[in-house]
């Protein structure tokens, strides 16, 4: 199973990037052994967005922020006014899309985002209007989605916008507001840690690199993964992603170095361990691979999404009965996740049990986190009913 991380800023995707620990005391250097440009000699032809470009806002976006935040004067700030304006900006509101790995201005104009691009855009709008904004990485359990044959490990990020602590500035209503596509993330009270702007840029570059990798554009992927690693060398997932890329171009020594470097930053990074196991199988180091795989599986056994992603893979391979077994194991651990309920529905549909497929689709709809997902499931339920 090939794993790579992204923020879905579910955003999501993300984003994706998960499982970071506090690494403030760790020093690391980016060396030629970790970043091997010789494998991708034309990588510099792919331009990577600068920090200024990622957070840039045009005049329309700037005026939008000013109208949403400023009340009677420049010293009166309305935090919740900005958040409400962002989500109410169009008839259908801000639309969630896992693959919307876009810079702030594009996100603003497209009105489509994942959790990372939503956070980047809101950060830029808040700063322009004189508010303070802090990025937070949410420590969610490991959670995967499938895309183009890849298992994508998703992280989650959100943002807190607040009025500056300044005696000359007054707040209209609350002094702060959290911004997140998924209110359940806020209600579940998962622990979260503040992350720097550089780390968020590293996450953005990782997402763009993952997009390139899925599209089989390996040189472009390297350009972004390299930028991610250089922007924040302590961000483990950049090294895991580089390890995956190196392995895909048969650079096994570089791949092993990258995985082990990620593990030197956080020995609990199961994604790095799993990919190291896969690499060892490619090198016919079967005993080492099996030992690592057993450790990873043992530690993931109680994670419903581990069973979910096994179900997704089985379904892609045409094994609906095996997929159903995996999905049901996931449901026994958590029967409220719409993704797993949808997986069960897909498996039953493949097995020809339309009635059960429809029942689980309806359950998935009831547990959906947003209107887009509810509409998606409703259309599938309607389609099944019409064909029944």
Sheet (strand 144-147) strand order: 13-15, 3-9, 150-154, 144-147
Helix 320-333 with 304-316: angle, nearest 10 deg = 170
Distance between CA atoms of 258 and 265, rounded to whole angstroms?
11
pLDDT of amino acid 187: 54
Crossing angle of helices 371-387 and 338-350, rounded to 10°: 20
Give the residue-averaged pLDDT of 39-68. Answer: 96
* Percent of the chain with pLDDT strictly greater than 70: 85
Is the Cα dihedral 259, 264, 266, 268 positive or negative? positive
How do residues 166-209 score in pLDDT, each as one tens digit? 655 555 667 888 988 876 655 566 789 999 999 999 999 999 99
pLDDT at 320 over 90: yes
Structure tokens at 376: 């998606």
Q: What CA–CA distances, in Å, run from 281 to 144, 204, 301?
A: 22, 31, 22
CA distance 386 to 388: 6
pLDDT value of residue 22: 28
Between 225 and 175, where is the model more confident? 225
CB 169 within 8 A of CB 77: yes
CA–CA gap between residue 361 and residue 375 (Å, rounded):
11
Match 């494998």 to its residue by tokens.
39
Q: What is the pLDDT of residue 75?
A: 63
Three-state secondary structure call for residue 195: strand
- pLDDT of 56: 98
pLDDT tens, 118-176? 999 999 999 999 899 999 998 888 887 777 778 788 888 999 999 887 655 555 667 88
Q: What is the pLDDT averaged over residues 352-367?
A: 92
pLDDT at 216 over 50: yes
Coil vs helix vs strand at 9: strand
- Crossing angle (nearest 10°) for helices 270-282 and 286-300: 150
For residues 258 and 239, give the distance between their C-alpha atoms in angstroms, rounded to a whole number.
5
Average pLDDT over residues 323-335: 95
Tell me the per-residue pLDDT of 297-307, one tens digit each, with 9 for 90 and over: 999 999 998 89
More confident residue, 339 or 371: 339
Span 69-122, pLDDT tens digits: 876 556 667 888 888 899 887 656 788 888 899 999 999 999 999 999 999 999
Burial of 388 (0-12, 13-18, 19+ CB in 10 A): exposed
Average of per-residue pLDDT values in the chain: 85
Percent above pLDDT 90 for the chain: 61
Task: Please give the pLDDT value at position 7.
Answer: 39
- Residue 3 is predicted with a pLDDT of 38
Name the β-bridge partners of 156.
138
Stretch (H or E) spanning 147: strand 144-147
Taking 80 as the threshold, does the pLDDT of residue 12 lie above it? no
**Token pair 């806020």: residue:** 186
């Amino acid at each position: 199973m090939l794993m790579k991380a992204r923020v879905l800023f579910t955003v999501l995707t993300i984003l994706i990037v998960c499982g970071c620990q506090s690494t403030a005391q760790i020093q690391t250097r980016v060396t030629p052994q970790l970043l091997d440009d010789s494998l991708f000699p034309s990588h510099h032809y792919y331009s990577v967005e600068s920090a200024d470009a990622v957070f840039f806002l045009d005049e329309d976006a700037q005026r939008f922020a000013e109208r949403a935040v400023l009340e009677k004067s420049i010293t009166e700030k309305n935090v919740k006014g900005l958040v409400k304006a962002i989500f109410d900006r169009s008839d259908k509101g801000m639309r969630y899309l896992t693959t919307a790995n876009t810079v702030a201005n594009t996100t603003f104009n497209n009105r489509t985002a994942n959790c990372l691009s939503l956070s980047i855009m809101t950060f830029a709008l808040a700063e322009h209007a004189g508010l303070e904004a802090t990025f937070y990485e949410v420590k969610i359990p490991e959670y995967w989605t499938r895309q183009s044959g890849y298992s994508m490990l998703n992280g989650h990020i959100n943002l807190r916008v607040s009025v500056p602590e300044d005696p000359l500035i007054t707040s209209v209503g609350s002094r702060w507001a959290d911004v997140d596509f998924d209110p359940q993330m806020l209600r579940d009270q998962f622990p979260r840690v503040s992350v720097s702007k550089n780390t968020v840029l590293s996450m953005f570059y990782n997402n763009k690199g993952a997009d390139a990798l899925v599209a089989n554009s390996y040189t472009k992927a390297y350009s972004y993964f390299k930028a991610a690693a250089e922007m924040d060398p302590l961000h483990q997932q950049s090294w895991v992603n580089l390890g995956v890329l190196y392995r895909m171009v048969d650079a096994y020594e570089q791949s092993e170095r990258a995985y082990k470097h990620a593990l030197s930053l956080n020995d609990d990074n199961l994604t790095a361990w799993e990919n190291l196991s896969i690499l060892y199988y490619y090198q016919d180091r079967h005993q080492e691979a099996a030992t690592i795989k057993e450790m990873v599986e043992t530690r993931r056994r109680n994670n419903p999404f581990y069973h979910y992603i096994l179900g997704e893979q089985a379904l892609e391979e045409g094994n609906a009965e095996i997929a159903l077994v995996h999905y049901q194991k996931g449901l026994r651990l958590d029967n409220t996740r719409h993704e797993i309920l949808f997986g069960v529905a897909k498996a039953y549909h493949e097995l020809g049990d339309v009635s059960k497929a429809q029942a689980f689709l309806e359950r998935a709809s009831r547990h959906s986190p947003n209107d887009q997902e509810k509409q998606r499931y409703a259309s599938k339920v309607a389609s099944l009913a019409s064909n029944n």
